[in-house]
Amino acid sequence: MLSNILFNQTIDSELIKEILFDFHTYGPIDNSHLETLSYLKKYNTEQFKAYEGKLMFLMGLFYKTSEPNSFIEAIYNAYAQTIIEETGHNFTPVQADAYNSIKKYTNFSFSAPTSAGKSYLFQELIKETKGDIIIILPSRALLSEYLIKVKKLVSNETLVLQFIEIVNTKRTKNRIYIITPERGEEIFKNVDKLNLELILLDEAQISEEGIRGMKFDSLVRRIDKKLNNIKKVFTHPFVLNPDAQFKKHNITNNIDSENYNQKTVGKIYIENNKGLFTYFSPFDDRVKEKIVVGEIVKDIIVNGGTALIYISKAKIYDGTYIEEFSEYIELCPKITDTKSLSYINKLEQFFGIKDDNEKYSILIFLMKRGIVIHHGSIPLKARLIIEEFVNGHHAKICFSTSTLIQGINMPFDIVWVNNFSFTGNEDQKILNLKNLIGRAGRTTIENDFFDFGYVIIESKNKKLFIERLNKESSLSNISNLDLTTDVNNEDFIDIVDAIKNDTFDSELHLTNSQIERINNSNIDDDVKFILDNFLNEELNPLTAKEYYHLKDSVRKKIKKSFETIFKVHLRRQELTNGEKAVLSASIPVLLWMIQGKSFAEIISLRYAFLSEKDFRRKLRRQLVKKEISLSQYRKLLKEKGIRYSCIANAIPDISFKRGASLFKGNLLENDIDFDKIIYDTYDYIDKVLSLSVSNPVSSVFLLYFHKTNDIRAKVLSNYIKYGTNNETEIWLIKYGFSFDEIEELIEHIEKIDETEIIFKESINEFINNPDNLKLIERYL
């Protein structure tokens, strides 16, 4: 019986020889074989070593092999040497085949498992490309990882930015732009100034995702039409038909595609039934639900391993995950390592909670124990620090939402799928599940070493898990662009039509029909009212404090005017109450940004406002002075409700009918969750102001300026688009610096334009700090 063989203390040599022969014949494509090998190594570690060298050769993992010890290994070693001679790289057969196809064909689309070594292939392509490169990613969650890796790969003469600007031209040899499809318009605005050689479209299965998929498909079609002879590479995980990218867009110029099934890492699958862990096999019933001996998760964490626990964002926000996984959290003592603490110190400074006893962050508390939280509402800069922390092997546990599904390369010993909700159609759910569990098992570079990881599934999801794992997923051969538009979703009719007909304005980032609607509207009075009340005679915007102290009637009129200015580009006449609440809450955040407040300052100001800090301090002073009794103090706190602030939500969104409050209750019974304010504030800056409000509202003021020559409108347009009207600061933004970085840098700038940055002598003192040097070394 096979289950007995797997758990024996002696390896069945015939079984392992059979697997090795199968790998030699077909390659390492059988998941069941990889599972068997994982058990054999787990229960017979010493005996298994006798087979590992040969296994690495037969799996094509030539970067993990030592000297060949048999005739068959010598043949594979010769194959490895041939790959090096032909490609100049120590590639696996999969990497070599993909590399050769990329070199040979103008358009190449391929699919490969998560651990197939795509990142290394990309790194080598980037290093040897002399011209400009554009890397298109499905979401901004991936940007930070790519920016870190690419900057390390290339010299300081290569400009690396997350948007397309032609800057630093005097000191730049070539450019690498890492963008999402939403930034794709910028390619064509600057295409004549680029020396494009390669376009990498990573995680291209985004083409299946509604409006975002349409934007991606539109970009692909424009690239094919206007950059037909530029080399383009599409990559996907776990899809049967990567050639669908060509079929759906009728791309015929010098094309090739390949579906690679070769795996590099084994998996052991475990079912969790209310704390009872049992092994199971998703491929056949050979394991017979054998109970896991010992505390598998605890043992791995205690012995220096890592666990990814995939949970819902709701659990992170309500904190229930802490109680649910408390026994594992308690295994992680306080960190003492200096390097680890340096990352935490950076985060504390970024959030503004260093030595502030009033602001308590559970994210920081957990990180001090080697436990990280990762989701899309954590600010990009903070995510970058967290990802460096994980990849530097400082973390033991990571609680994450779907941001890790999107391709972020942070492998773990265990992937625990606690949340089984995956978005999209069935093909997308299959793909997302496989992408997630692909993080289980770290691909090491240790010679003659087979890697495997653990996947834990909740008992209630086991049946569906097995079904999805054993199904293949495919891309549609028809683009969403070519399907009938949902006429009920009127907010997106303009966008869909513009995507289909290529009628976007590259400067204003709006569709031609939206611009026409703005020009034909009657909003001059609203624009003038905003200009009269938002800017003083020196053209400086009012502060958030001044805004709060305006008469209620004026503030209501400002909100109403902003609503009118925002909705004028839409087809519908009215916003929902939820959309109005989002716009209202975004105004003070916008004003704080315009004033140049750092992210830490904005969080602090919002925290003070929502938690009624002034009221609480005043009440506390009265209590200390015995002007009120303790019972009166508690009564007044209980009566005082926490300020209402609508949860951030991207707009327009006609389904967002009512604006739910970020916090509920009263000041006595509710501690204000500081992390929630961090996440929500970032969502307001990112999802609301940057992605939803900036383009339509700044465009209204710019079009008004073109019509009236009222300079105030151009100034306010700049403030809304860039957060500043200072020319030096705008240039620094175009060079890729954040507001927090600009605040430190600006006093050291002598001159800046599209050609270069010239620094003052004071910069020498600034770059004594290694982090500061790293920030600007490309521009020195």
Query: What's the confidence (pLDDT) of residue 211?
Result: 78
The CATH number that domain 93-259 falls under is: 3.40.50.300
First to last CA, the chain: 68
In the chain, domain spans? 1-90, 93-259, 494-606+642-722, 727-779
728 phi, psi to nearest 5 deg:
-65, -45
| Residue type at position 248 | K
647 close to 629: Cβ distance less than 8 angstroms: no
Quote the percentage of the chain above a pLDDT of 70: 96
DSSP three-state, residue 233: strand
Q: What is the pLDDT of residues 553-563, one digit of tens each?
A: 998 999 899 99
Q: What is the pLDDT of residues 696-739, one digit of tens each?
A: 999 999 999 999 999 999 999 999 998 899 999 999 999 988 88
Long-range pairs of 519-527 with CB within 8 A, sequence gap ≥ 24:
519/703, 521/568, 523/564, 523/565, 523/568, 523/700, 524/704, 526/560, 526/561, 526/564, 526/565, 527/561, 527/565, 527/700, 527/701, 527/704, 527/713
CA atoms of 766 and 749, how far apart (whole Å): 12
DSSP string, 69-122: -SHHHHHHHHHHHHHHHHHSS---HHHHHHHHHHHH-SEEEEE--TTS-HHHHH
User: Does the pLDDT value for residue 487 go beyond 60?
Assistant: no
User: Does the pLDDT value for residue 779 go beyond 80?
Assistant: yes
Q: Mean pLDDT of all residues in the chain?
A: 89
CA atoms of 545 and 537, how far apart (whole Å): 18
Our CA dihedral for 186, 189, 193, 199, rounded to 10 degrees, sits at 40
309 close to 373: Cβ distance less than 8 angstroms: no
658 close to 578: Cβ distance less than 8 angstroms: yes
**Number of CB atoms found within 10 A of residue 477's CB:** 12
Helical H runs in 184-286? Answer: 185-190, 210-226, 244-247
Going through 218-353 in order, the beta strands assigned E by DSSP cover 231-236, 255-259, 266-273, 276-280, 307-310
Taking Cα atoms as reference points, which of 145, 142, 136, 140 lies closest to residue 181? 136
The reply to whether the predicted model has a pTM over 0.75 is: yes
Tell me which H or E stretch contains 397: strand 397-400
Sign of CA dihedral 135, 136, 142, 144: positive
385 close to 351: Cβ distance less than 8 angstroms: no
User: Does the pLDDT value for residue 3 go beyond 60?
Assistant: no
Query: What's the confidence (pLDDT) of residue 560?
Result: 92
Range in 5-9, 68-72, 681-685 the model is least confident about: 5-9
Q: What is the pLDDT of residues 376-398, one digit of tens each?
A: 899 988 988 888 898 888 999 99
CA atoms of 556 and 563, how far apart (whole Å): 11
233 close to 201: Cβ distance less than 8 angstroms: yes
Query: What's the confidence (pLDDT) of residue 1?
Result: 42
| pLDDT average, residue stretch 148-157 | 90
User: Does the pLDDT value for residue 499 go beyond 80?
Assistant: no
229 close to 197: Cβ distance less than 8 angstroms: no
Going through 501-635 in order, the beta strands assigned E by DSSP cover 504-505, 510-511
Q: Which residues pair with 473 in a beta bridge?
A: 239
Q: What is the pLDDT of residues 397-442, one digit of tens each?
A: 999 988 766 656 667 899 999 999 888 889 989 998 998 998 888 7
| Residue type at position 523 | I
Helical H runs in 368-488? Answer: 380-391, 426-437, 462-469
CA atoms of 409 and 203, how far apart (whole Å): 12
Cis before residue 282, ω within 30 degrees of 0?
Answer: no
Helical H runs in 368-476? Answer: 380-391, 426-437, 462-469
